[in-house]
Amino acid sequence: MNERLKVFIETYGCQMNVSDTELVFSILTNNNIEISDSIDDADIIIFNTCSVRQHAEERVIGRINNEMSRKSRKQDLKIGVIGCMAQRLGEKLIERNKGIDFVVGTDQYRKLPEIITNLFVNPQFKKNIIINNKEMYDGLYPIHKGNFNAFATIMRGCNNFCSYCIVPYVRGRERSRDYRDIIKEVEELGKKNFKEITLLGQNVNSYNYKGLNFAELLKRVNRISSIERIRFVTSHPKDLSKEVIAIMKDSAKICEHIHLPVQSGDNKILKKMNRGYTVEHYSALVDSLRKALPGISITTDIITGFPGESEKQFQNTLDLMTKIEFDYAFTFKYSPRSGTEAANYNNQIPEEERLARLQKLISLQEKITLKKYKDQIGKIKEIYVEKVSKKSKLELSGKSRDYKITVFPGDESLIGKFVNVLITEATGWTLKGKLFDEQVKPKQHNKLCK
Ligand code: SAH
Ligand code: SF4
Ligand code: F3S
């Protein structure tokens, strides 16, 4: 084959998968394989998949089956699956879905160029899902596809084994990336005009590279002059230290937003989930965060219908939501994952009940979110302008430091800039406003720039 092979990747799941796709872009292009933005042009279609809930897997299988018909039109077309579902199911995925040509797990992406090239010569190859707890993809730098904001992976894997969660099984053990590589990557991003970066890991608060902890890493990233905003996900309540909260307060670039999954508002359920904290500990953290960073936005994840969850225990979650008033909550009904501890519990809650509780949770959170967003009316907020609004060509859309999508009338020339917007309206999860002043240099929110 003389022409370069073209690969199209469709990504599902969390930010870690988005970041891995960018890593795979880099691995492929380094090996003379082209990345295609169009599925129609591709010689190879890859699905980067998620296993976190049954529904996530079903969705991808549906998509893969849809694209199978392309094989009758393009004989040489190959379809591959990578990511967490590839890791979880391996061979079974191929047995159940005959058209899948190859399956590659989360620690084997370096092998992708060889696997892809060989496929056309030796179609016998099927899978490589060996977990390699040492694989950090050192020396590789992702190709970031977005504009303005980019993810930087700081760690891989997870050691927490929350009893409901598949992630530790499909991502291997927790390991932290060399801070010098992270700094180098972020500096490069700054040079490419990415002004906002999000540090990524399943549990960023336990980052530790040869004794250098997350607080120290944040301090170092905060010193990179070309970066204006720093975010990080995900924080774990058991590991979020006073030191990190202090750095958040003192480091000008760290945004006033934290995603802090609580999962449940009941201590017994938290214990069964193996989360390692209590409701009291969580509430105290929220108090410290709000004291250190007044107005900080707090978002969370919550699961309904965990095995054995009683009506009363579910009510405790609703009560906690009312008390804390999260800016936003990602809510999920419990999905049993084979191989996890909770999937074997014999007190599973019926599907309809899990769903009914989920709906109650969503409707409570909708009210709280609207209230929190309405509290913003009259405020002047710094917005990093990302794009023309989907709904109107005359409006722009961007995000505030506290992670609220904000839409306002403005000229396209402001895209990529920081502006001040006066908030005049709040709908669902969007703020609306009008341009207050155009400014190039972001405001430093009276924090000390260290
Ligand atoms: N490492 C992160 C995110 C993990 S996955 C963390 O610890 O917060 C994202 C969210 O999916 C979790 O926070 C949890 O709320 C949800 N989740 C994970 N496993 C689930 C399951 N089996 N059923 C339903 N929701 C689940
Ligand atoms: Fe899953 Fe818990 Fe690890 Fe998050 S911390 S990835 S919920 S095991
Ligand atoms: Fe992320 Fe889903 Fe894997 S949440 S780590 S892509 S199982």
User: For the domain that residue 396 is a member of, what is the CATH number?
Assistant: 2.40.50.140
Mean pLDDT of the chain: 94
- Same domain flag for 105 and 153: no
- Same domain flag for 411 and 359: no
pLDDT band at 448 (very low <50, low <70, confident <90, very high): very low
Residue closest by Cα to atom 8 of ligand 1: 261
Residue where one domain finishes, among candidates 374, 399, 423: 374
> Is 50 exceeded by the pLDDT of residue 109?
yes
- Same domain flag for 321 and 429: no
Least confident of 144-153, 196-205, 396-405: 144-153
- Same domain flag for 388 and 370: no
Instruction: State pLDDT tens for residues 319-368.
Output: 999 999 999 999 999 999 999 999 999 999 999 999 999 999 999 999 99
pLDDT at position 126:
75
Q: Could you tell me if the CB of 52 is within 6 A of ligand 3? A: yes
Calpha distance 308→98 (Å, rounded): 38
Calpha distance 13→171 (Å, rounded): 13
Q: Could you tell me if the CB of 162 is within 6 A of ligand 2? A: yes
- Same domain flag for 190 and 86: no
Rounded to the nearest angstrom, the distance between the alpha carbon of 242 and the centre of ligand 3 is 28
Query: Which residues neighbour 114 within 8 Å (Cβ) at sequence distance 6 or greater?
Result: none
Nearest ligand 1 atom to alpha carbon 52:
19
pLDDT at position 120:
84
Least confident of 20-24, 48-52, 127-131, 194-198: 127-131
Rounded to the nearest angstrom, the distance between the alpha carbon of 56 and the centre of ligand 3 is 9
Q: Specify the CATH number for the domain of residue 217.
A: 3.80.30.20
Calpha distance 191→177 (Å, rounded): 21
Nearest ligand 1 atom to alpha carbon 301:
15
pLDDT at position 447:
47
pLDDT at position 55:
96
Least confident of 101-110, 142-151, 291-300: 142-151
- Same domain flag for 247 and 339: yes
Let me know if residue 143 belongs to a domain.
Answer: no
Could you give the percent of the chain with pLDDT greater than 90?
89
Let me know if residue 134 belongs to a domain.
Answer: no
pLDDT at position 2:
54
pTM above 0.85, yes or no: yes
Let me know if residue 202 belongs to a domain.
Answer: yes
- Same domain flag for 87 and 158: no
Let me know if residue 449 belongs to a domain.
Answer: no
**Taking CA 362 as the corner, what is the angle to CA 236 and CA 316, rounded to the nearest 5 degrees?**
60
Let me know if residue 51 belongs to a domain.
Answer: yes
Rounded to the nearest angstrom, the distance between the alpha carbon of 72 and the centre of ligand 1 is 38
Q: Could you tell me if the CB of 51 is within 6 A of ligand 3? A: yes
Nearest ligand 2 atom to alpha carbon 159:
3
Counting the structural domains of the chain, the total is 3
Residue with tokens 């890493």: 217
Q: Specify the CATH number for the domain of residue 122.
A: 3.40.50.12160
**Which among 301, 302, 334 is the best mutation to test ligand 1's pocket, defined by most ligand atoms within 8 Å of the CB?**
301
pLDDT band at 450 (very low <50, low <70, confident <90, very high): very low
Q: What is the CA radius of gyration of the chain?
A: 23
Q: Could you tell me if the CB of 335 is within 6 A of ligand 3? A: no
pLDDT at position 449:
34
- Same domain flag for 237 and 370: yes
Calpha distance 398→408 (Å, rounded): 9
Query: Which residues neighbour 344 within 8 Å (Cβ) at sequence distance 6 or greater?
Result: none
Could you give the percent of the chain with pLDDT greater than 70?
96
Q: Which ligand is nearest to the CA of 234?
A: 1
**Taking CA 324 as the corner, what is the angle to CA 322 and CA 327, rounded to the nearest 5 degrees?**
95
- Same domain flag for 368 and 390: no
pLDDT band at 443 (very low <50, low <70, confident <90, very high): low
Helix (H) or strand (E) holding 179: helix 179-191
pLDDT at position 262:
98
Let me know if residue 177 belongs to a domain.
Answer: yes
Mean pLDDT of 415-434: 95
Let me know if residue 444 belongs to a domain.
Answer: no
Let me know if residue 362 belongs to a domain.
Answer: yes
Nearest ligand 2 atom to alpha carbon 274:
2
Task: Quote the tokens at residue 173.
Answer: 């053990």
Residue where one domain finishes, among candidates 374, 391, 421: 374
- Same domain flag for 359 and 387: no
Calpha distance 144→376 (Å, rounded): 32
pLDDT band at 442 (very low <50, low <70, confident <90, very high): low
- Same domain flag for 210 and 196: yes
Residue closest by Cα to atom 1 of ligand 2: 165
pLDDT at position 146:
84
Calpha distance 297→328 (Å, rounded): 9
Rounded to the nearest angstrom, the distance between the alpha carbon of 203 and the centre of ligand 2 is 7
Residue where one domain finishes, among candidates 358, 374, 390: 374
Q: Which ligand is nearest to the CA of 53?
A: 1
> Is 50 exceeded by the pLDDT of residue 217?
yes
Q: Do residues 38 and 67 touch, judged by C-beta distance below 8 A?
A: no
Q: Could you tell me if the CB of 53 is within 6 A of ligand 1? A: yes
Task: Quote the tokens at residue 127.
Answer: 């899978």
Q: Hey, is 149 helix, strand or coil? A: strand
Helix (H) or strand (E) holding 23: helix 15-29
**What residue type is assigned to position 296 of the chain?**
I
Q: Could you tell me if the CB of 106 is within 6 A of ligand 1? A: no
Calpha distance 22→16 (Å, rounded): 10
Q: Which domain holds residue 316?
A: 149-374
Q: Do residues 408 and 433 touch, judged by C-beta distance below 8 A?
A: yes
Nearest ligand 3 atom to alpha carbon 17:
6
Question: Whose CA is closest to 239, among 268, 212, 206, 264?
Answer: 206
Q: Could you tell me if the CB of 164 is within 6 A of ligand 1? A: yes
**DSSP codes joined into one string, 220-279:** HHHT-TT--EEEEE---TTT--HHHHHHHHH-TTB-SEEE---B-S-HHHHHHTT----H
Mean pLDDT of 370-380: 97
> Is 50 exceeded by the pLDDT of residue 446?
no
Residue closest by Cα to atom 7 of ligand 1: 202
Q: Could you tell me if the CB of 273 is within 6 A of ligand 3? A: no
Q: Is residue 24 packed enough to be buried (19+ CB in 10 Å), middle (13-18) or exposed (0-12)? A: buried
- Same domain flag for 200 and 320: yes
Instruction: State pLDDT tens for residues 142-172.
Output: 999 888 999 999 999 999 999 999 999 999 9
